[in-house]
Structure 1
Amino acid sequence: MPAVSFLSASANIARHLPLMATRQPDHPAIKVPRGRTGDGRIDYLALSFRELDTEVDAWVARLQGHGVQTGDRVLVMVRQGLPLIAAAFALFKLGAVPVIIDPGMGRKNFLACVTRSRPRVLLGIPLAQLLSHVFRAAFKSVEIRVWVSGSPTARAGRGAQNSKLKFEMVSSRAADLAAVLFTSGSTGEPKGVCYEHGMFDAQVRLVRDTYGIQPGEVDLPMLPIFALFNPALGMTTIVPEIDPARPATVDPAKIVQAIQQEGVTNSFGSPTLWRKISRHCREKNEPLPTLRRVLMAGAPVPPALFADLQVLLPNGTAHSPYGATEALPLATISGPEVVGAGQGSDSLGTSAATAAGAGTCVGRPVAEIQIRIIPITDGPIVSLTDTRVLPPGEIGEIIASGPVVTQTYDQLPAATTLAKIQTPNNQSQTNGKTAGTPDSFAVSAPAGAAWHRLGDLGYLDTAGRLWFCGRKAERVLTADGPLYTEQVEPIFGAHPDVARVALIGAGHDRRRPAIVVEPRSRDVIATPSLRRKLVRELRALGAPHPHTDRIRLAYLHPHLPVDVRHNAKIHRLTLARWAVDQQGYEMDKREVPVSALKR
């Protein structure tokens, strides 16, 4: 094939890599750990941007040799590292569609997602190929199998690597399907989110501009899929020594060594991972001076973690971007905004309000994003004219519109109808404005774009900041009114002996509010006197606040169930089912154990 020529009209996300290979050809693009040197340093396989671009062409040759074509759906089941990044960019370059499903969602959900997405190609390690034969029904659409080594340093193949050919990149429109990325399904069934090339472009632009990322920076992404942005951002990717299937087992010493050895300037990870890293750094008295920014997402970030990171990042700042698989980033907040810094009305930060039950502030909308709050509705909303905007301070559903907001779910028209509010081309773009509502709070969006209903509840304050109150599916509808997880859990989570806490609806009707507590020490669960003491102290924490004073039932759990992807999202609906057959503790002066079934 002739050498590639770049057309400015093409929105193909793959175009960024050869551009970076031209601008900074010898700069490291990716480093993959492969052991230790004699002096204990991490030994990396390193590829420059030019070498990574050549490796992508080698993958194109290999994929084409197996018959992969433009438009093919390709289920990607490879290890994080070189094969994930190089093969993904090769698929984009070919115009094929990577399908990314988190195997941590459980076998039943995973196989259902494979069946629904109907991949023609399986690009996978030997274990994935074996599974495709064991569960033939789910993989029946697969016609082509491309085997990939389980090594994170696996290359496309010697023959392809020695090829001098450059492959023509498919010219894609902004609206062309680029990938299908599945949600984790933490509060419902996992769904395939249809990403267009233009949406990936917008994500790169907004992430770069919001956080001031510059080409030449060094990133350590602790969620593999975020590494795919780095070639477009011109950042070096340091592949972390972490098992994506079990992120909570990470050795923080290895992460800290990589940050210090490679001069990492940027890192993304869940609050759970950064809590482990922060604890390690504090115990060892090891600050992280090279880091300019730490991004944390996947669950609300505790103010105490922000405070710890402010000390550990003498030359950097911790941030928490807000969004979802369907739309990211939407808003952002920094550590100083949470814990307080500087002068003026925001000098005390938002943490005090969070501790008092106001919810978690997730910051202000990023550029090009509009966020509105509408009344809580469980059914579909067909048009913007069918809803209205709530005034500042009133809790409702969070909806968002902008260039990173996806438009459809894959093969799930009913789910798309439920999650999207359409804005027809011929519809007025300021519908839903309530009398007296300022223009900045009017419901508006580009003609034809959809507003996404995030399934989250919250409110906007008078300063335009978004406050997250919890998932809509996890609110507890009591006889005295609704309770929201993020307005309850921080109050009880302030107890020093509590590792995690979850608000649930107890009983068969799920209408009695209760908390499920994971103590830091297993001794609390094993010792009756310690159990009663903890319950008594939790009652004292909840009593001063009217909404938590209503909670008089507590359960103790050795380890709250959480998602695999971030190891941070609590499965509260699972806990509610668990509690039906468990014994709880009445949070009164007697602390007498009671059965939730009898309440």
Structure 2
Amino acid sequence: MTWTQLSAVVEAMARGLVDLGMRPGDRVSMLVTPGNDLTAALYAVLRAGGIAVVADAGLGPAGMTRAIRSADPQWIIGLMPGLALARGAGWPGRRISVTPFDRLEKRAFGVETSLTELARSESTAALPRVNGSDDAAILFTSGSTGPAKGVRYTHERLAALAALLRDRFDIRPGAGLVAGFPPFALLGPAIGATSVTPDMSVTKPRTLTAAALADAVLEGDCTMVFASPAAFRNVVATAGDLDAEQRAACDRVELVLSAGAPVPLDLMDDLAGVFPHAEIHSPYGMTESLLLTDIDREGVAAAEAASRASGSRDHGVCVGRPIPGVRLALAPLDDSGVPADTLLEGEEARGVLGEFVVSAPHTKAGYDRLWLTDTVSKQDTLDGLQWHRTNDIGHIDAEGRVWLEGRVQHVLTLPTGPLGPGAVEAVVDRLDPVWRSALVGVGPVGTQAAVVVLELDGAADPQYARTKPGLAPLALTDEVRAAVAEAFDGLDIAAVLVAPSFPTDIRHNSKIDRPRLARWADRVLRGGAVGKP
């Protein structure tokens, strides 16, 4: 679609929606897969004054039902699979299909009309004017640490986010973006970028191949690429399948962005091999605030080199410094792993393990219909600003760089004090046979034992290719314990286990479900069945 076509279609659809009865403030559940149809439909809803409700299909039927019912939409716009699920689950809302249905299909799915028919209706209905403080969208979190939460964004906060992205990454007219992550496919038009959705399953990031990504770059003459770490790992793994034209397309890419989960330096190095002329960036954010800090590959390498040279305890994943407009504070953890009520900023916050608390113009307006959760996340007041508790933990080093070490609910409470799992995992992940690791606590709060769980890479070290799940081989256990003890002043690892696979979130396929792994580790160490976590 050209910009002219998109503008005309959005305008026509919006007028048709107003004619049909949509009013400012009406909530509209978007059950359309990312691509041209969803982009046009979403902007049409915003032009008509509606509030777009976007729940990830990766939540599954039960998770989506919980999310949609909590939002209580007055309208549903969907493709056949989404409308079928809405009918079967009894979701609220008047139904609109994307393309026309025949009479029987309309009756079966309760569909009144289609976006195609609305766009062709030649309506002259007046479009409403919206205020910047009006809600524009309800975006649901990935549900990786509990039921997915609806996050409210107003028009002014979405506009602030779009402006921030344009400025931060120097989006110029004519720039092209391959969006392997649905939210950025929708943000593309707002930041003035030609947006291309690659051939992949949006609920399975690892289905993105290097060939599909390169074809998308070619299709839109793109210079920017955005995908999750899990998607990019598969791109790296399949890069050998690229033909000459596809490799040339990757050579033209200028900017590679990866977020949604920690992006280790080794993955950045691998991506530099696929996109040799691109800047590799790892911005840090979340559904509640999509961009907070940023760092490039050279910055990560410099931070890790400085940590090793100084012998400091700067371990974890370095995500750089806060970007302009973002204020970042720290709520220190007490001995039981609970963040304090007081916030630290500047020099006071350096080297302290705590929860990150942020304030920015593009941060969420609030959680939707979750009064207690919203109140807790905004309970902090500093300089009269609204702050958001991120639930992410870590520390700020002497140079002001942010290091992520996990989530509040993942903190280990050892006899020696609280410990963020990400710091130890960053050390263990450097060992050759390790694909990825997770540090979990086993035992009562305050006296937990530290247990490392591994997923092994048999290709990197063939001697571990047939390792069975359960207790790790003795030589590998010794290697893990030695590496951790050296980095953390003798920190004792009670056990090292090998898991058949790690439970992860569906949206990114990267966020490890550590509580579930902890229960599995506890079961295995008690002599129970190994099985799957």
The two structures have a TM-score, normalised by structure 2, of 0.86
Aligned-residue offset at 1:579: 2.3
Q: In structure 2, what is the equivalent of residue 564 of structure 1?
A: 506
Aligned partner of 1:69 in structure 2 is 23
**Aligned positions of 1:206-355 closer than 5 A:** 206-281=164-239, 286=247, 288-340=250-302, 348=305
- The one-letter code sitting in structure 1 at the alignment partner of 2:52 is P
User: What displacement does 1:535 show?
Assistant: 2.8
2:412 is aligned with 1:470:
no
Given that 1:74 and 1:98 are in contact with CA atoms closer than 8 Å, whether structure 2 keeps it comes out as: yes
C-alpha separation in 1, matches of 2:340 and 2:444: 30
> 1:313-338: CA deviations, max 9, x gaps?
33320111111111121110011111
Cα 1:157/1:128, change in 2 over 3 Å: closer
Residues 272-312 of structure 1 deviation map (CA, whole Å, 9 limit, x = unaligned): 11122123336759462211111110111111112223343
Residues 25-424 of structure 1: pairs in structure 2 closer than 5 A? 47-136=1-90, 139=91, 142-149=92-99, 159-162=117-120, 168-281=126-239, 286=247, 288-340=250-302, 348=305, 358-376=315-333, 386-389=342-345, 390-423=348-381
3-state SS of 1:68 partner: coil
Range that drifts further, 487-496 or 249-258: 249-258
Are residues 84 and 566 of structure 1, via their aligned partners in 2, closer, same or farther at CA, if it must alter by over 3 Å?
same
In 2, the alpha carbon distance for the partners of 1:168 and 1:356 equals: 61
Distance 2:291 2:255 in 1: 16
Distance 1:380 1:282, change over 3 A: same
SS in 1 for 2:77: strand
Establish whether residue 578 from structure 1 lines up as the match of residue 528 from structure 2: no
Work out whether 1:518 is the aligned partner of 2:455. Answer: yes
Matched residues in 2 for 1:289 and 1:167: separation?
48
SS in 1 for 2:283: strand
Q: 1:159 to 1:375 in 2, by over 3 A?
A: closer
SS at structure 1 position matched to 2:131: coil
Corresponding position of 1:552: 494
Q: What CA deviation, in whole Å up to 9, does each residue of 1:526-567 have, x standing for no partner?
A: 399984443333233323233673112122112101111111
Task: Give me the whole-angstrom Cα distance separating, in 2, the residues matched to 1:108 and 1:543.
Answer: 43
Q: Which moved more, 1:549-558 or 1:203-212?
A: 549-558
How far residue 471 of structure 1 moved from its aligned partner, in angstroms, is 1.0
| Seq. identity, % | 30
Distance 2:93 2:22 in 1: 10
Inter-partner Cα distance in structure 2 for 1:519 and 1:484? 22
- Contact 1:248/1:567 (8 A) holds in 2: yes
Q: Distance in 2 between matches of 1:223 and 1:167?
A: 34
CA contact (8 A) 2:100 2:116 kept: no
**In structure 2, distance between residues paired with 1:547 and 1:189:** 38
Check conservation: 2:438, 2:514, Cα contact below 8 A: yes
Matches within 5 A, 1:471-550: 471-507=407-443, 511-521=448-458, 523-526=465-468, 531-546=473-488, 549-550=491-492
Deviation at 1:105, TM superposition (A): 2.4
* C-alpha separation in 2, matches of 1:209 and 1:173: 24
Which consecutive residues of structure 2, in runs of 5 or more, have no partner in the other structure?
A: 102-112, 459-463
Residues 319 and 95 (structure 1 numbering): CA distance in 2 closer, same or farther, change over 3 Å? Answer: same
Q: Kindly provide the amino acid, as one letter, of the partner of residue 58 in structure 1.
A: A
Between 363-372 and 499-508, the greater mean CA deviation after superposition: 499-508
> Is this contact kept in 1: 2:50–2:136, CA < 8 A?
yes
- Check whether the contact 2:198–2:208 (CA below 8 A) recurs between aligned residues: no
Does the 8 Å contact 2:484/2:490 carry over to 1? yes
How big is the shift at 1:266? Answer: 0.7
Deviates more, 1:394-403 or 1:500-509: 500-509
Name the CA distance, whole Å, in 1 between partners of 2:115 and 2:61.
Answer: 31
- How far off is 1:524 after superposition? 3.2
CA distance in 2, matches of 1:300, 1:350: 18
Q: Aligned equivalents of 1:501 and 1:534: distance in 2? A: 13
2:83 is paired with a residue of what secondary structure?
Answer: helix
SS in 2 for 1:99: strand
Deviations for 1:453-487, whole angstroms, at most 9, x for unmatched residues? 10111222232222222211111111222221221
Runs (4+) of structure 1 exceeding 6 A deviation are 349-356, 377-382, 527-530, 593-596
TM superposition shift of 1:494: 1.1
The CA deviation at 1:66 is 3.9
Equivalent-residue separation in structure 1 for 2:449 and 2:513 (angstroms) = 18
Tell me the distance in 2 between the aligned counterparts of 1:283 and 1:401: 44
Question: Does the 8 Å contact 1:260/1:290 carry over to 2?
Answer: no
- Corresponding letter in the other structure for 2:323: V
Partner Cα separation in structure 1 for residue 100 and residue 514 of structure 2: 35
CA RMSD of aligned residues (A): 3.1
Does the CA contact (< 8 Å) of 1:72 and 1:120 recur in 2?
Answer: yes
Q: Name the aligned partner's letter for residue 87 of structure 1.
A: A
Instruction: Provide the secondary structure at the position in 2 that maps to 1:568.
Output: coil
Give the aligned partner of residue 43 of structure 1.
none
In structure 2, the residue corresponding to 1:339 is in which secondary structure? helix
Identify the range of structure 1 (572-581 vs 542-551) with the bigger mean alpha-carbon deviation. Answer: 542-551
Alpha-carbon distance in 1 for matches of 2:287, 2:151? 7
Cα separation, partners in 2 of 1:499 and 1:352, compared to 1, 3 Å: farther
Q: Is the 8 A contact 1:57 1:166 kept in 2?
A: no
8 Å contact from structure 2 (residues 394, 420) kept in 1: no
Give the whole-Å Cα distance in 2 for the aligned partners of 1:496 and 1:84.
Answer: 43
Letter paired with 1:318: I
Tell me the secondary structure at the aligned position of residue 7 of structure 2.
Answer: helix
TM-score w.r.t. length of structure 1: 0.77
After TM superposition, give the deviation of residue 517 of structure 1 in Å. 0.8
User: How far 1:410 moved relative to its partner?
Assistant: 0.5
Q: Which moved more, 1:248-257 or 1:407-416?
A: 248-257
- The question of whether the paired residues in 2 share the 8 Å contact of 1:187 and 1:573 is answered with no
Q: 1:580/1:315 Cα in 2 relative to 1: closer, same or farther (>3 Å)?
A: same
Give the Cα separation in 1 of the matches to 2:15 and 2:349. Answer: 56
Rate the CA distance shift 1:234–1:571 in 2: closer, same or farther, 3 A: same
